[in-house]
Amino acid sequence: MPTKVAIVGQGYVGLPLAMSATGAGHTVLGIDRDEKLVASLNSGTSFIEDIPDSALAEAIKNGYRASSSFEDISDCSIVVVCVPTPLDEKGSPDNSILVSAVHSISNFIKSDALLIIESTIAPGTMRRVVAPIVVDKLGNKEFDLVFSPERIDPLNKKWNLQNTPKLVAGMNDRALARATEFYSTFVSEVVPGSSVEVIETAKLLENSFRFINISFINEIAIMCNALNINVLDVIEAAATKPYGFMPFYPGSGIGGHCIPVDPIYLASAAREAGSPSRFIELARDINSAMPAHFVGRAVEKLGSLSGKKIIVIGVAYKANVADTRESSSVRIIELLKSAGANVSWHDELVKNWRGEKSSKLSQDFDLAILATPHDNIELDALGSVPLIDTRGAN
């Protein structure tokens, strides 16, 4: 049954969710503290590659609007939280944005509302952190609390919000039933979990699996380079096995809002429980070392980097998106500069970053490092400039 829904956080997770819910007939309010973003969304301008302006305009016509005020959720029957849960400056889990959002929501959420958390969290966070905040604010008023982790993969042409199974776990049976009914209006398969702790951990397991396997293939790529073997040919050959193998591909590290972050939440919870995860810690070390590996490759090609003109191609964390969160290019550029190189970067999707503008590709460089291969990058413009391809091609 269509209802009024507030979705807190209108980023790469919240906005696609808002569009899907609106398309299913719900009246959707998108809440975000960024007033410029709110104004942009209400004017019909999307900043997310998966959501064209035309889709946003259609949603606005069907009742979607954005707001920066939590007061507006007071008449919403369902509130979904899609705010970031990043790492802090020390590389530890940081729930402060989520905690702040839950406090703000609890000031205005109506009695008997359904509150859903989609943000990635460590096992036990729903029961030990989120629930007490809401109980403290609402007292004896009834409310339903659910955890349903996002599974967004930007620009994935095969798997999207509608056809990716949705994990749902409620703090009670009624909460689970309500959330299942809501998500079933626009997701083809809703999978109930036996407890919120199971689903909290399942989300972290999914991305820790990728995190560890990417670190492994990065290590294999380094080994193949030392043996003068093309790692991409090795992966292609191994991938012919129809069982027991899944191809992963090397790169300059791991970036984005999930893969480099989620395993650290799991590792942190494991340490607190007295059962540290050696695999995750080792994978983190390997992936963190990849930028230094490629700067070392640059030294092998050029000798001293002092005064050398080097361009890093791609500062987004993933091909064909403009998101720079946790991008390994940041560390590559820092290390190159600390070695005395004159560093430029090229990324026509990002365009402006850290007070600098994207540089054009040309033959006026001593070396190019391909970090993130967006489509339609004109590498031919480099001419004879030596190129290090972090994906393993050379």
pLDDT of residue 202: 98
What's the rounded mean pLDDT across residues 353-379? 94
Determine the Cα–Cα distance for residues 60 and 54; give it in Å rounded to an integer: 10
Q: How confident is the model at residue 69 (pLDDT cuts 50, 70, 90)?
A: very high
Domain boundaries for CATH 3.40.50.720 within the chain: 4-194, 206-389
Give tens-digit pLDDT for 182-213: 999 999 999 999 999 999 999 999 999 999 99
Question: Nearest to residue 25, comparing CAs of 184, 168, 172?
Answer: 184
Q: How confident is the model at residue 140 (pLDDT cuts 50, 70, 90)?
A: low
Residues in contact with 326: Cβ distance below 8 Å, sequence separation at least 6, in sequence order: 254, 255, 256, 257, 260, 261, 317
Residues recognised as catalytic: 258
Average pLDDT, the chain: 94
pLDDT of residue 65: 97
**Torsion (CA) 234, 236, 240, 245 in degrees, nearest 10:** 70
CATH assignment of 4-194?
Answer: 3.40.50.720
Determine the Cα–Cα distance for residues 288 and 247; give it in Å rounded to an integer: 21
Q: What residues does 312 pair with on adjacent strands?
A: 345, 369
Q: Which CATH class is domain 206-389?
A: alpha beta
Q: Amino acid identity of 37? A: L
Given a cut of 70, is residue 310 above it in pLDDT? yes
Task: State how beta strands 4-8 and 342-346 pair.
Answer: unpaired
pTM of the model: 0.92
Given a cut of 70, is residue 57 above it in pLDDT? yes
Radius of gyration in angstroms for the set of CA atoms belonging to the chain, rounded to a whole number: 23
Give tens-digit pLDDT for 2-13: 899 999 999 999
Q: How confident is the model at residue 256 (pLDDT cuts 50, 70, 90)?
A: confident
26: number of Cβ within 10 Å:
25
pLDDT of residue 137: 80
Q: How far is the CA of 72 from the CAs of 133, 255, 302, 338, 362, in angstroms?
A: 20, 34, 59, 49, 51
What's the rounded mean pLDDT across residues 260-283? 93
The larger pLDDT score, comparing residue 115 to residue 139, is at: 115
DSSP secondary structure letter of residue 74: G
Question: Nearest to residue 256, comparing CAs of 120, 115, 153?
Answer: 153
What's the rounded mean pLDDT across residues 342-371? 95
